[in-house]
Structure 1
Amino acid sequence: MVDGKKMMNICILEILRKYTDSEHTMDQKDIIKKLETEYGMKVDRKSVKSNLMNLVDFGYNLECTEIERENKNGETEILTKDWYYNHEFDDAELRMLIDSILFSKTIPRNQAQELIEKIKGLSNVYFSAKVQHVCNLPGLSHTDNRQTMLNVEMIDDAISEGKKVAFLYNTYGIDKQLHPRKDTKYIVNPYQMVANEGKYYLICNYDKYDNLSNYRIDRMTEIEILDEKVKDKSLVKGMEHGLNLPQHMAEHLYMFSDPAATIVLKVQKGNMGDIVDWFDKNFEVLSPKFVQNNYPDNFNPETDANKAFIRVTCSQNAMFHWAMQYGTSVEVIEPADLRERIRDAVNEMAERYK
């Protein structure tokens, strides 16, 4: 049994947090019942009202309906009812957070479950009941690397302190376990972490190069923060004036690190939604006149009426895989070496599937 006088306000706050929201309110009599059943406290309405008003005065996010009425002495008094706790996150926001964890391949399964339980605790019993049907974590793909969240924390510290990091970089073997690519550690200048396609990446630089590289954080083990200061960003291509993250992401689909190139594509007009999904609006639609003058061998007015020519800036390695993915709906016009690379791959596949 709890000491009623000292703890009543905390108990009332917890009851409202756990059992109420704008659609599920409580009157003072409901609060009195919960205090007795959950905390063994027998209290009167006057004490409950006094504690409720104290909580409001202390700045707690409580809401209620106020009603004016005249008492026996002819004086106006304020009655309160329909009390509820105004949660920091609404159910839709919490569900979005849970979904992002469910479909993140970076967070280990046990940590994902713990995070989801913590998020559920930010709302009330009604929200917990709503999310009982969410997909089972064992059925979703999550990293086997239990160090991932610690990796994120350590890299964040290194970036804040302007220090280099060292780590082993791993890949999966036929035993389905992570194994180091090489015995020695990678040493890089860390600049930014980013989430892409459910995975965390570190955007960084090697001292001996002047370009950016991307590494999956869930593939890193044995991370350590070094005493050496990171290379000045102004010495790294693409970071002379700071990192333009939206541009970097658009130019490096699948997080490939090779330099971006200008690429011309012929696409189905009906697939412009896919183009925007992948490149946002960072592409140029070429005019029919420009296309006829510059790509006459690739343009047929009769058969290409439902097609558009666009120009994007993107990693060639990334575009190779993207073009293969959308093979029947897209054609790479230039650069010629990328077009040839795709043609060779398609011919090889055709031979394989004969």
Structure 2
Amino acid sequence: MSRVERVNNKERLLKLMEILREYTDEEHELSYEELMDRFRLSYGPGMKVNKISLKDDIDHLIASGFDVTINQEKEGLPKYYSHQYRLFELYELRMLIDAVVSARFITKNETRNLIRKIKKLTSIHQAKLLQNELLIDSSVKSESPMVRLAIHVLHQAVAEKKVIAFQYGRYNVDKEFTLSRNGGKYLVKPLALTWTNDFYYLIACFMEADEIRHYRIDRIRNVEVTTESFKYDPFDVSRYVQSTFHMFAGSEQWIKICFRNELINVMLDKFGKEVDIQKDGESHFILTTKARDSAGLASWILNWGSQAKVISPPSLVEKIKSEIASMHELYN
């Protein structure tokens, strides 16, 4: 910006708002002279604003609903100005940053850009207190910068109830990304997006088989929104996610598992406080719920070792027995 002695009233008012947002908060105030120093840094040493104009600007900001706190200890002493009430509390900004850092589908560069933008939602002084964010582990971050674009397109398709087509793939043992179905397109009715197990998933009806499936968005390629619309039937996303284990698909069925009491909080975290739980003696409880029969379910149960025993259905009992026998054979 060119160096000037005066700026018009509207520009001066906007600049004052910017200074208060960026350089003041609950613990940092600026006097009239300090406010003027900030103006001079932007417009040059010859910049002039009298106290009456400054007072009018502050009155206009207050009248428009912008918070300006005026602090004067005693009559005759200097007044200090600050902007204290913001849309986000500091702890809320920290939670946002921690969520961004923890999200695997966000690339390392996007993580840094988002953190930089989040810090602009508070003063420069409080932004420094947000430096203790979680360590960005680049080894588990997505390498695909297209995820954010796919998320936008998919949300729009869900809202507009449009059929979409895309390619889908996975990495092989050579760490090469290979497309499934020989690169053929998946044609689906998008129902919802969900963020679970550190990844974004698209939940959709796969039209070829007429069944609900889910797809990791970082594995989706070349999304196309078609002109074909579909009728949306009510779909309980929360129930679907809760019934899956490690996001493995499968048919839903009733299961009954006996757990040691030490795992009660883990089960309540997973299934919610409304889940059917019955005491079984002094040291165990029985959990009854619907779940999707899949490799993910078996792995989840085996994760608890001897602290969990499947009671029903018989098919799941046999699956667990078979896996335990295979593990025993592998290590014997």
Q: TM-score of the superposition, structure 1-length normalised?
A: 0.84
The equivalences for 1:91-106 within 5 A come to: 91-106=90-105
* AA in 2 matched with 1:5: V
Alignment match, 2:32: 28
- Cα 1:39/1:138, change in 2 over 3 Å: farther
- Cα 1:173/1:127, change in 2 over 3 Å: farther
Q: Secondary structure at the match of 1:150?
A: helix
Alignment match, 2:7: 5
Q: Is the 8 A contact 1:63 1:86 kept in 2?
A: no
The equivalences for 1:150-169 within 5 A come to: 150-169=149-168
* AA in 1 matched with 2:215: Y
The separation in 2 between residues aligned to 1:259 and 1:3, in whole angstroms, is 74
Alignment match, 2:220: 220
The equivalences for 1:327-346 within 5 A come to: 327-346=305-324
The separation in 2 between residues aligned to 1:209 and 1:99, in whole angstroms, is 39
Q: Is the 8 A contact 1:91 1:127 kept in 2?
A: yes
Unaligned runs of 5+ in 2: none
Q: Secondary structure at the match of 1:255?
A: coil
Decide which of 47, 53, 78 is 2:53's aligned counterpart. Answer: 47
Q: Is the 8 A contact 1:64 1:84 kept in 2?
A: no
Alignment match, 2:211: 211
Decide which of 286, 294, 298 is 1:309's aligned counterpart. Answer: 286
Q: Secondary structure at the match of 1:257?
A: coil
Q: Is the 8 A contact 2:162 2:229 kept in 1?
A: yes
Question: Per-residue deviation at 1:80?
Answer: 5.6
- Cα 1:2/1:143, change in 2 over 3 Å: farther
The separation in 2 between residues aligned to 1:12 and 1:140, in whole angstroms, is 43
Alignment match, 1:118: 117
Q: Is the 8 A contact 1:26 1:83 kept in 2?
A: yes
Q: Secondary structure at the match of 1:88?
A: coil
Identical aligned residues as a percent: 24
Question: Per-residue deviation at 1:140?
Answer: 5.2
- Cα 1:2/1:179, change in 2 over 3 Å: farther
The equivalences for 1:190-201 within 5 A come to: 190-201=190-201
Say if 2:13 is the partner of 1:14.
no
Q: Secondary structure at the match of 1:346?
A: helix
Alignment match, 1:141: 140
Q: Is the 8 A contact 2:253 2:290 kept in 1?
A: yes
The separation in 2 between residues aligned to 1:257 and 1:2, in whole angstroms, is 66
Question: Per-residue deviation at 1:28?
Answer: 2.4
Deviation track 1:13-69 (CA, whole Å, cap 9, x = no partner) reads 111111111222223232122222343233332222221112222332333347896
Q: Is the 8 A contact 1:167 1:220 kept in 2?
A: yes
The separation in 2 between residues aligned to 1:68 and 1:124, in whole angstroms, is 27
The equivalences for 1:266-277 within 5 A come to: 266-277=258-269
The separation in 1 between residues aligned to 2:247 and 2:261, in whole angstroms, is 26
The separation in 2 between residues aligned to 1:285 and 1:33, in whole angstroms, is 66
* Paired residue total: 323
* AA in 2 matched with 1:57: A
* AA in 2 matched with 1:189: K
Q: TM-score of the superposition, structure 2-length normalised?
A: 0.89
Alignment match, 1:238: none
User: Bigger shift: 312-321 or 37-46?
Assistant: 37-46
* AA in 1 matched with 2:188: V
Question: Per-residue deviation at 1:211?
Answer: 3.2
The separation in 1 between residues aligned to 2:132 and 2:71, in whole angstroms, is 34
User: Bigger shift: 269-278 or 128-137?
Assistant: 128-137
Q: Secondary structure at the match of 1:111?
A: helix
* AA in 1 matched with 2:179: P
